[in-house]
Amino acid sequence: MSAKIIDGSKVASELRDEVRQDVKDWVDEGHRPPFLQAILIGNNPASNTYIGAKTKACKEVGIETDTLRLPDTVSAKELKKTVRQCNQNDDVDGILVQLPLPSHLSSHDVIESIDYRKDVDGFHPMNVGRLAVGQPTFRSCTPAGIFELLKYYSIPTKSKHAVVVGASNIVGTPVSIMLSREHSEGKATTTICHKYTKDLTQHTIAADIIIVAAGQPNLIKGEMVKEGVVVIDVGISRVADETREKGYKLVGDCHFESVREKASWITPVPGGVGPMTVAMLMKNTLLAAKKSIYPG
Ligand code: BQF
């Protein structure tokens, strides 16, 4: 078998078209356009690229946005004060603090300082907790984007064996919740693997669906998966490539060629999950503006 490609760039583009229409309808009803406040600390090159992608998507769908740039020497106190001002500003619908943070800042503290009603990344404990118990919530963008892709390609998860590799707060943990809970969309039997997992292959070889978000190139090889598996590759690492203008290329966590030979479906990197993450941020920002999740 050679896997069919899950085209995240295409699906994300269609999603942005939908959001653009919904934003237009919202504005035509007499509301101001949604506003997303981004906060970027320091000058991590990858973070700059991500903020650039998000700003571009906002422009495309008619969401207004601004990026507050703070030096990487900013104190926790100053940063939280900035977040608090955004919380109190009625012209701000969504707040996003670009991760990762410089090491002297606690992402837990910063995320918790965001008003959960403006937490369009879905990282606040209120939103993660509501996800876990099955209440309406801002779903974090990458897991939500993965489920949009599965839905788009009519790939079922119900009663399947899903294996999640990586247990981060950003991807692995929320995607595990969404996959595993009987009240949520997944309804799959779910295994979570992480750096303490003893024999990774023992788990991946048994999977109908693998979601890999470990940030480790070539972690998953063809010999570790069974024929027909669905592979969602969330990894995104820069590796040196002299033939590219930028001097690097992006790779996922799979050895693409060998895994592709056995899988039924696979997401490429780039152009798989990444663009969906950004599109779901647009959806969440519109939900925040409309107060759809938290009315009143
Ligand atoms: C693509 C992210 C790790 C750590 C912090 C399109 C993005 C990426 C790839 C993007 C990511 C990853 C984002 C592609 C946002 C996804 O064409 O493949 C878009 O902008 N992402 C982030 O904000 O923080 C991260 C990954």
pLDDT in tens, 183-222: 888 999 999 999 999 999 999 999 999 999 999 999 999 9
Which residue out of 60, 170, 277 has the highest number of ligand 1 atoms within 8 Å of its CB and is therefore the one to mutate?
277
Ranges of CATH 3.40.50.10860 domains, the chain: 29-116
Ligand 1 site, CB within 6 A: 50, 53, 98-99, 236, 269-271, 274-275, 277-278
Contact 252, 219 (CB under 8 A): no
Which residue out of 5, 15, 50, 253 has the highest number of ligand 1 atoms within 8 Å of its CB and is therefore the one to mutate?
50
Q: Known catalytic residues? A: 54, 98, 121
Of all protein residues, the one whose alpha carbon is nearest to atom 7 of ligand 1 is 274
Beginning with the edge strand found earlier in the chain, give each strand of the sheet holding 35-41 in spatial order. 64-70, 35-41, 94-97
* H/E segment holding residue 210: strand 209-212
| Rounded Cα gap, residues 109 and 112, in angstroms | 5
- Ligand 1 atom closest to Cα of 215? 3
Report how far ligand 1's centroid is from the alpha carbon of 29 (Å). Answer: 33
Backbone angles phi, psi at 42, to 5 degrees: 80, -165
> What is the bridge-based pairing of β-strands 35-41 and 94-97?
parallel
Report how far ligand 1's centroid is from the alpha carbon of 278 (Å). Answer: 7
What pLDDT, on the 0 to 100 scale, is given for residue 236?
98
Q: For domain 29-116, is the CATH number 3.30.450.20?
A: no
- Ligand 1 atom closest to Cα of 52? 20
What CATH number does the domain located at 141-274 have?
Answer: 3.40.50.720
Contact 185, 138 (CB under 8 A): no
Report how far ligand 1's centroid is from the alpha carbon of 274 (Å). Answer: 5
| Rounded Cα gap, residues 282 and 18, in angstroms | 10
For 218, left (φ over 0), alpha (ψ -120 to 50), or beta? left
Whether the pLDDT of residue 136 is over 90: the answer is yes
Task: State what percent of residues in the chain have pLDDT above 90.
Answer: 98
Whether the pLDDT of residue 1 is over 90: the answer is no
Whether the pLDDT of residue 84 is over 90: the answer is yes
Ranges of CATH 3.40.50.720 domains, the chain: 141-274
Per-residue pLDDT of 265-293, as tens digits, reads 999 999 999 999 999 999 999 999 999 99
* H/E segment holding residue 68: strand 64-70
Backbone angles phi, psi at 210, to 5 degrees: -120, 125
- Please count the other Cβ atoms lying within 10 Å of the Cβ belonging to residue 261: 14
As given in the structure block, the two tokens for residue 182 are: 């009987």
